[in-house]
Structure 1
């Protein structure tokens, strides 16, 4: 059974993994740093160390082995003890114990155990995917000196340019100027002629208009007959809600009821045309909206006539 594999798995999650009867592997987080003149960059990592004085069984390694190897806790403790005996025997005979991805344990001249970590694995999960790299040294000053040396050695050569004859251009300019002046003069003369002709035409038109005004007469031979315009009678606003005071067979009785209502203060009282039942309704008033009619009905029923009712056409 490879105990070092289980130890390596636990180092990702815990700072201390104890191997009962052998020692404890400890981790310490180290920040990112840069070393060397060549600028070697190292990401944050967990540095593994070993302490041979911590040997008590805390149950962490044994429980992990039992779960991974699918065995009982007691059997896992026995398996770990067998591996520890093997490692101890190797060290007592001055042999090295190599733990993959963790490090090597050897014995010095004083028979003390010496641990050398293997820096092949970074157990800090926050640095997953980060690796160390070396940035080449930037030699700005050296390049600057080389450029300055080249500038001192490089000769500066001035090549005289051959002067070209552009005298023909002045003649072309004179010709273009004369052509432009001639065109401008002709345009001015043409515009003046058009203006004069326009004024002449306008003058003739005005003279003819004045002659017609002087000859015009304002006598009307036959008067125009007056036209009668019929004015439509104003359309009476529709009031379909009537608050009825009573119904009468004769117009005389209806007029008496209207007079009584007027005397009582109901100035809008009136008689409606005879209906299909040959009755004349006398109403307190007619309204445009149902809300107005309902409001007046409640007031009249309380103060004047409890039997007043609302009729809607």
Structure 2
């Protein structure tokens, strides 16, 4: 059983998840930060650490697994204990324990557990969808110097002749426009008058033709025609899923694929549905064309597995 899957689900809503007789994973909230060396703005997040002294069973993890797997509490506790036993055997054998979306655990020379966190996933629910932003500094002084140098290199000189020419040019433009409007008005009126006379003549000619055609039509057989039956083949077009129940969004495509695999192993019809407007790779628990079915499934998932799940509608 992939116990780390349920640990990561709980870290979105709890700051401490304890594995009985093994240790606890802690989530510490950090504020938004600015890295001067790389000019990057980092959103608020949760940093993950491990403390092997927190080993008393508080029931949080076991209860969560029991609800997700629909098991009795003692049965879920037994499965967790078997998993922890396997982990301890690997660590005592000198192997590294790689926990998906959490990090790496290994045994030091003095038999202490050393945890190296994996920082690809942000477990702070309020920062969902936020990504690292590159902050490019604005050099105002250098831009100001460039503008001043450009203005100094292009002197502006206005002679009396140019000032007089610039004063007369608008009046010449308005006079030309007025003359054009007068000429267009005269020619337009004459054209409109001729158009009206032609229109009346054409309407009278069309009325005579229609009357002749109606008179001729009375000599034809007006009985209804018997047409052969018309058979049409209608091809039904099925639409793809519209409602996706989102399980998470990841900066790395590899992490999104791992999440899909984990959900599929847990019995979900999970899928990767591409990136959102922030460039994050989205993963869905399940999808459906039926809105009511999707809402019922969302309520079930929020109640038993992930309370921050939500629906994405794609048309």
Normalised by the length of structure 1, the TM-score is 0.46
Normalised by the length of structure 2, the TM-score is 0.46
Give the structure, 1 or 2, with the largest relative contact order (CA under 8 Å, sep 6 or more): 2
Q: Say which one has the larger Rg.
A: 1
